[in-house]
């Protein structure tokens, strides 16, 4: 008999995927209810202030990995720094950032 993953199990698995892809987990919010996952925020690598070098292919791999997790029924993505084109591909959205002030020396 196969046991169904709880929403907590799914959250733990997604956090592991974030770490595996080196995405900054503090920039990603997740709502999970009854196996339906909603991911929002920004997908950027740990330590990057800007979009940088994440590619659309990496976002696609991350999305597919979430959808394959045990217990996930559906996954919805509403990312501030990515948008899905009509072709299904992910395209970066450049966000305006206020530079972080450097301490005076």
Task: List the chain domain ranges.
Answer: 7-92
Q: Name the class of domain 7-92.
A: alpha beta
- pLDDT tens column, 2-20: 568 899 999 999 999 999 9
Q: Are strands 74-79 and 90-92 parallel, antiparallel or unpaired?
A: unpaired
- pLDDT, one tens digit per residue, over 51-95 is 456 789 999 999 999 999 999 999 999 999 999 999 999 999 876
Q: What is the CB-side half-sphere exposure of residue 37 using CA atoms within 13 A?
A: 29
Read off the pTM: 0.80
């Amino acid at each position: 008999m196969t046991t169904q993953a709880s929403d907590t199990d799914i959250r733990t698995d997604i956090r592991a995927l974030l770490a595996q892809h080196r995405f900054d987990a503090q920039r990603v919010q997740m709502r999970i209810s009854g196996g339906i996952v909603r991911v929002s925020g920004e997908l950027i690598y740990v330590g990057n202030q800007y979009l940088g070098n994440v590619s659309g292919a990496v976002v696609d791999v991350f999305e597919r990995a979430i959808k394959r997790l045990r217990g996930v029924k559906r996954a919805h993505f509403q990312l501030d720094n990515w948008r899905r084109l009509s072709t299904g591909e992910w395209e970066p959205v450049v966000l305006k950032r206020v530079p972080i002030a450097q301490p005076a020396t």
